[in-house]
């Protein structure tokens, strides 16, 4: 493939990780440029329409939004990670978007200083996980025994839930056995393990400490 791909990343970002998993799964060569979202460089403000990562530069052209990047990366190489049935594919897209909402509730659960607000967000996360459990196939992956795009989209969320469990003892998947098994399967995959920097668990803990929210009070040390 002669197309040049450059992914603009922030090491802690789960949305960037969605794109990286697809790139790794499909063995596509790409460059990665890390920025500090707390202090983004001027060039990033010009390049990223929403000021967000991920951004994928394709021969200099800008793509943004993790799901769009995932789909583009999938479409330029075979075999596709998308389900072939258009209805299944469309429903998966909707549930991928739903996963973004869970991630959005997870962040304030981790970082909010107020215990009541953090617990309320935990309730939102748990309720959404129940909804997800209800539509999961019960197989190794979301749709069954085959890894598809939606699996790449959810793995970063499960990785963060695993960090939270290890750091605080809060097991968000204890009431959703299908999701717990799915998470275990995803986190064991090479394309998932290789999608983050090795120091991510330490960085995540550092972020929890730095944000100094309610969850920081639950850290083991
Ligand atoms: N809907 C976007 C969400 C991306 C997103 O929220 N990225 C965060 C980092 S994890 C970000 O860039 N935040 C900076 C900001 O919003 O100013 C996607 O799926 O790509």
| CB 53 near ligand 1, within 6 Å | yes
Compute, in angstroms, the gap from residue 74 CA to the centroid of ligand 1: 21
Q: Is residue 142 part of a domain?
A: yes
Residues 105 and 209 reside in one and the same domain? yes
User: From the CB of 65, is ligand 1 less than 6 Å away?
Assistant: yes
Residues 64 and 92 in one domain: no
Instruction: Provide the domain count of the chain.
Output: 2
Q: Which of 119, 101, 100 is nearest to 109 (CA)?
A: 119
User: Do residue 65 and residue 90 come from a single domain?
Assistant: no
Q: Are strands 31-34 and 61-64 parallel, antiparallel or unpaired?
A: unpaired
Phi-psi label, residue 212: left if phi above 0, alpha if psi -120 to 50, beta otherwise: left
Q: What token pair was written down for 134?
A: 């209800």
Q: Helix, strand or coil for residue 71? A: helix
* pTM check: above 0.95: yes
Mean pLDDT value across the chain: 97
Say whether both 140 and 191 belong to one domain. Answer: yes
The per-residue pLDDT string of the chain (221 residues; one tens digit each, 9 = 90 and over) reads 679 999 999 999 999 999 999 999 999 999 999 999 999 999 999 999 999 999 999 999 999 999 999 999 999 999 999 999 999 999 999 999 999 999 999 999 999 999 999 999 999 999 999 999 999 999 999 999 999 999 999 999 999 999 999 999 999 999 999 999 999 999 999 999 999 999 999 999 999 999 999 999 999 77
Backbone φ, ψ for residue 7 (5° rounding) = -100, 125
What's the pLDDT tens digit per position in 140-166? Answer: 999 999 999 999 999 999 999 999 999
Q: Which structural domain, as residue segments, surrounds residue 112?
A: 86-218
Q: Is residue 11 part of a domain?
A: yes
């Amino acid at each position: 493939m002669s197309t040049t791909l450059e992914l603009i990343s922030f090491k802690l970002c789960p949305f960037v990780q969605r794109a990286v998993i697809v790139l790794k799964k499909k063995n596509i060569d790409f460059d990665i440029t890390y920025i500090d979202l707390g202090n983004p460089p001027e060039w990033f403000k010009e390049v990223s329409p929403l000021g967000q990562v991920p951004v994928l530069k394709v021969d200099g052209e800008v793509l943004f939004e993790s799901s769009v990047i995932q789909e583009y990366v999938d479409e330029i190489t075979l075999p596709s990670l998308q389900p072939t049935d258009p209805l299944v594919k469309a429903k998966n897209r909707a549930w991928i978007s739903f996963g973004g909402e869970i991630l959005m509730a997870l962040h304030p659960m981790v970082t909010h200083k107020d215990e009541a607000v953090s617990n309320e967000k935990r309730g939102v996360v748990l309720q959404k996980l129940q909804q997800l459990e209800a539509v999961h196939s019960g197989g190794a992956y979301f749709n069954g025994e085959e890894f598809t795009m939606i699996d790449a989209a959810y793995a970063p969320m499960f990785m963060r839930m695993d960090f939270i469990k290890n750091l605080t003892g809060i097991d968000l998947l204890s009431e959703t056995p299908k999701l717990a098994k799915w998470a275990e399967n995803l986190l064991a995959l090479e394309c998932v393990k290789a999608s983050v920097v090795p120091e991510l668990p330490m960085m995540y803990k550092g972020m929890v400490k730095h944000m100094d929210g309610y969850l920081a009070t639950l850290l083991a040390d």
